[in-house]
Amino acid sequence: MDLQEYLKSVESLVDKSLFRYFGDAPGKLDKASAHLLLAGGKRLRPAMVMLAAEAVQKGSSDRIFPAALALELTHTFTLVHDDIMDHDSLRRGVPTVHTVWDEATAILAGDVLYARAFELICKAEADPSSKVRAISMLAKACEEICSGQSDDMAFETQDEVTRGEYLDMVRKKTGALYAAAAGIGAILGGGSPQQAEALHNLGMTTGIAFQIQDDLIDLLTPKDESGKDRASDLRAGKKTLIAIVAEEKGIDLAPYKRDLSDNEIDAIIKELHDAGVVDEVRQIALDLVHKAKAGLSVLPESEEKQLIIEMVEFFVTRGF
């Protein structure tokens, strides 16, 4: 099975399971909680959980599948809250939760998803000590995500953000959940401490690369392909790695913190390409993935290990 075939199979399995759990949401809050969850998605974090489990112990992913769902709920809870803070109106090709309902309902909807994620991870079949480690890892990741989002918001009012500050923010905001996905899969799948640590580290490093690529997609990919508002980071004045590298090359993106026409976005994209900003940012992401793959030597050779390698490469080559 190639990577895209595997990801499609996981996506289908997750979608069906989520619809079974959340498709008949009766009340306003339940419907709001299910809205973005059922709008689709690549389901990459559940796939990471399942691949990590299979890589350490063949046949273990079925019994820990609820943990894979837990990671998708956690991811979706962060998106619901991020959309409120970023004032985004579109996500996965549908209106965001706070625009369909209101901000208060969206906050509560995210909280519901957060709570149900922990309920689901408890349903994974594993020994009690492994469950405690996995639950603790997910809780720590949620704390890190909140800290990273706080840093990201604070950057908007800082005059200067360094590469190191940006990468530390992304480590928490995005890397932590991918690290938890890979680490939890390994722990619940029955992997050794060394294997769990290696997969956790891989998830962390490639999660940073994933976010860098996401920032590039935000700027470069049209709305009809990404399902998101185009150049929302640029219009919000976010200190992404693109903005930091651009500033190092003498390009100030601050004047673009406003509503922009498609022609204006196209013009700044051309300027960034011509200055080598896009290529440099993309290379940073590629280097992170190369470093992450080197740590997988503690895993036995298997189809799942190869799929993990292909998956993290996909993180920095995808267009949406």
According to the model, what pLDDT value does residue 179 have? Answer: 97
Q: How far apart (Å, rounded) are the C-alpha atoms in residues 170 and 85?
A: 17
For 101, which DSSP code? S
Sign for the CA dihedral angle at 204, 10, 64, 293 comes to: negative
Query: Are the C-beta atoms of 124 and 67 separated by less than 8 Å?
Result: yes
What does the pLDDT read at residue 159?
84
pLDDT higher than 70, residue 226 = no
Judge residue 12's burial from the number of C-beta atoms within 10 Å of its C-beta, 0-12 exposed, 13-18 middle, 19 or more buried.
exposed
Distance, in Å, from the CA atom of 249 to the CA atom of 235, rounded to the nearest integer, reads 20
Give the pLDDT score at 236.
Answer: 85
Residue 136 pLDDT class (50, 70, 90 cuts): very high
Q: Which of 119-123, 179-183, 290-294 has the lowest mean pLDDT?
A: 290-294
Axis-axis angle for helices 193-220, 163-170 (nearest 10): 110
According to the model, what pLDDT value does residue 302 have?
A: 94
Mean pLDDT of 86-108: 91
Contacts of 78 (CB under 8 A, 6+ apart): 110, 145, 149, 177
Among 212-221, 225-234, 275-284, where is mean pLDDT lowest? Answer: 225-234
**For range 17-41, the mean pLDDT:** 90
Residue 64 has a pLDDT of 97
What is the 3-state composition of the chain as percent helix, strand, coil, each rounded to the nearest 5? 75, 0, 25
Report residue 182 as tokens. 């890979």
Query: What is the pLDDT averaged over residues 97-102?
Result: 94
User: Which run of H or of E encompasses 94?
Assistant: strand 94-95
Q: Dump the DSSP string for 35-77.
A: HHHTT----HHHHHHHHHHHHHSTT-TTTTHHHHHHHHHHHHH
Contact 221, 320 (CB under 8 A): yes
CA angle in degrees (0–180, nearest 5) for 86-89-94: 130
Residue 209 has pLDDT above 80, yes or no: yes
What average pLDDT does the segment 71-94 reach? Answer: 91
CB 183 within 8 A of CB 203: yes
- Any residues with CB less than 8 A from the CB of 158 and at least 6 apart, and which? 239
Tens of pLDDT, residues 232-286: 889 988 889 999 999 999 999 989 888 888 899 999 999 999 999 999 999 999 9
Q: In which band, very low, low, confident or very high, does the pLDDT at 1 lie, cut at 50, 70 and 90?
A: confident
Cβ pair 84, 106 in contact under 8 A: yes
Q: Report which secondary-structure segment, H or E, holds 307.
A: helix 303-315
Q: What is the structure's pLDDT at 119?
A: 96
The whole-chain average pLDDT of the chain stands at: 93
pLDDT at 150 over 90: yes
Span of 112-126, 210-224, 243-257 with lowest mean pLDDT: 210-224
Q: What are phi and psi of 95, to 5 degrees?
A: -60, 145
List helix spans (H) across 221-255.
Answer: 223-226, 232-236, 241-248
Among residues 187, 186, 176, the alpha carbon closest in space to that of 141 is found at 176
